[in-house]
Structure formats: C-alpha cells, structure tokens
Amino acid sequence: MIWSSFNLKVGILIITHSDIGKQLLLTATSVFGKNPFQVELLSVDNYDQPSDVRELAEKYVNFLDNGSGVLVMTDIIGTTPSNIASSINYKNIRVVAGLNLSMLLNVFNYPEDSLDTLTDKAVKGGIEGVSRV
Amino acid sequence: MIKIKLEDSQVSVSENCKTKKSILEKISELLSKPSGINRNDIFAKLYEREKLGSTSIGKGVAIPHARIHNIEYPFLSIMILDEPVDFDNIDSLDVDIIASLIVPEENFSNHLELLAYLSNKLDDPFIRKELRQARNSSQIIKNLRSDDLEFI
C-alpha cells in the first residue's frame, strides 16, 4: 500500500444559514480549480428545529471522519448554525465561525494538514480576508 | 431497519467508462428503470452534488449520492471498473469502486446513516477486494450485509 493511503484527510462540514455555504463552496471550488476535501453541507433555515439539525450534523460528522477528524465551519458566531456546531457531541472535531471565501481558499491550500493545523489555517485565512482595501 | 433496493440490473462490472461524467451517466441509467425516475433528472442531481466536491472517499472508492423526490426507498447502484478513473479523488488513487445512492428527499436522515454505513464498509480492505471480484448483486449484497439493512 502506498503511503498516501495512510494519510487520510480531514473531512469538512459546512453549516450555514440558508444557501450561503453552498455558494461560497461553489465559488471557492471554481477559483481554486478543485475541492481537495471530502465535504458536506448543512443549511439551517428559520423553520428548522435546532435539535433536528444537530442530529443531522452528528450523522454527517460520523460519515466524514475517516480517522483524521472533521473541521466544522459556520458563518457567524452566536447564531443557530454555530450554536449547533458547537453542541455537536463528537470528540474529533474543531469548530470555526466567520466563514468567508478567504477562509475556504486558505483551507483548500493545505489538504494534507492535521485537524489542529488546518483549524489554525482556517482562522488565519478568514481573518486575513478582512481588510481595508 | 432501513430498506434499500439493489438488484442485478443496478450492478455493472467491467464497464468501459473513461471519465467521471460518463460514470455518472451510467449510474443514472442503472438507477432510472428501478426507481422510475428520468435518467437526466438523476444525472442532474448527482452532477450538482459533485460540483460541490468529489464524493470520492479515498482508496479507489466513490459514493455519489443525491436526494430525489417521489421515490419510496433508497436505491443503490454498484459499478466496478477494470480501469480506475480520475474522480477528482481526495487521494492519489483513482476510483474503481462506485457505490451510488439515491434516497427519498423526504427521508434525509436515513440518507446519512446509509452513507456512513457504506463508507465504513468500503473502508475495509477485505470488502473492497471482494467487491472488485464480484459479478452480480448477490455477491455484492453478501459483502454489504448488515442487521440494520434490508435489501429488497
């Protein structure tokens, strides 16, 4: 077996209000050329019950974790998506809020990184994306 | 217990597909007849999902999946290729085992259980080896069997 098959990637779960996550992901994938991660999307709308969405999120995380853990990215801190993300009952996840295009693109650049390093890259990319132009 | 439909007509071995798109087209054809859903509609859903990111899970396996309105239960399709194909795979191994799933839009939760289940099963090197040698649905079902699934 070749080395790369041991080095399994972090999975990514994006939880956002309505369609934001999908549009950001499509745009990042188009800009970057490809999406190097296994990724799933979960959208939260006003009529959703947070407990139902949390249950789905836990199933997604279980599906996405191949041993390297799962990075959960949400749009804005303190709202339902990030509250759901931070209530996921699962050991090997990290949660980052403030999802933007810069964050996604920075993450796409480091597909081989560990969960903790990738989480730092996500935060750094997200912050660097906000600046006076 | 989750019901799932898999019969011989939904299994394809030694298919001569050279691209990801032709694989998705073939899957849509395999799933169209048993589900009664237009193949173009299935293709559109699978293709739309792939645009968000590859459904490759590594080690030569992909699990294209989509939610479809007006189907009664989930339908599975299995393709085994002689020649692995570039599936925008997340690792360096091109894909030769494609386990594709369409599930009722209304029953999204079961969808995820099935995906997690398939993903775990196909993570087992022994199961992958058996599937690469399988030639019909009963040989495949034998390897995917679980107390939580009812193949119909």
Above 70 in pLDDT, residue A5?
A: no
Q: Please give the sequence-ordered ranges of beta strands (E in DSSP) within B11-90, or none if there are none.
A: 11-15, 56-58, 61-62, 65-68, 75-85
Mark yes or no for CB contact B51/A62 under 8 Å: no
Mark yes or no for CB contact B92/A9 under 8 Å: no
- In total, the C-beta contacts within 8 angstroms joining chain A to chain B are 62
Mean pLDDT of B96-117: 86
The structural domains of chain A, ordered by start, are: 3-128 (3.40.50.510)
Above 80 in pLDDT, residue B110?
A: no
Tokens 């775990």 appear where?
B120
Between CA A74 and CA A94 the distance in angstroms is 11
Decide: helix, strand or coil at residue B86. Answer: coil
DSSP assignment of B107-120 equals GHHHHHHHHHHHHH
Determine the residue of chain B that is closest to A57 in CA distance. B112
Mean pLDDT of A50-67: 90
Decide: helix, strand or coil at residue B146. Answer: coil
Å between A109 CA and nearest CA of chain B: 13
Mark yes or no for CB contact B91/A5 under 8 Å: yes
**What pLDDT score does A2 carry?**
42
Query: Measured at the alpha carbon of residue B90, what is the angle toward residues B47 and B3, in degrees to the nearest 5?
Result: 55
- Report which DSSP code applies to A17: E
**Is B148's Cβ below 8 Å from some Cβ in A?**
no
Above 60 in pLDDT, residue A131?
A: yes
% of chain B beyond a pLDDT of 70: 100
Mean pLDDT of chain B: 90
Q: What is the domain partition of chain B in residue ranges?
A: 2-151
CA dihedral of A55, A67, B61, A39, whole degrees rounded to 10? 50
Beta bridge partners of B76: B101
Tell me the backbone φ, ψ of residue A15, rounded to 5 degrees: -120, 115
The interface predicted TM-score of the complex, written ipTM, equals: 0.77
Beta bridge partners of B5: B75
Give the fold, CATH level 3, of B2-151.
Answer: Mannitol-specific EII; Chain A (3.40.930)
Rg (CA), chain A: 14
List pLDDT tens digits, range A9-37.
899 999 999 999 999 999 999 999 989 99
Mean pLDDT of B81-92: 91
Please report residues of B whose CB lies closer than 8 A to that of A60. 112
Residues 6+ apart with CB under 8 A from B100: B27, B30, B31, B46, B63, B64, B65, B76, B77, B78, B79
Between CA B64 and CA B78 the distance in angstroms is 10
Above 50 in pLDDT, residue B65?
A: yes
Å between B117 CA and nearest CA of chain A: 8
Task: Look at A116 and A4; give whichever has higher pLDDT.
Answer: A116
Between CA A95 and CA A82 the distance in angstroms is 8
Mean pLDDT of B89-111: 88
CA distances (Å), origin A105, targets A34, A101, B79: 10, 6, 33
Mark yes or no for CB contact B109/A59 under 8 Å: yes
Task: Tell me, yes or no, if B69 is annotated catalytic.
Answer: no
- Report which DSSP code applies to B18: -
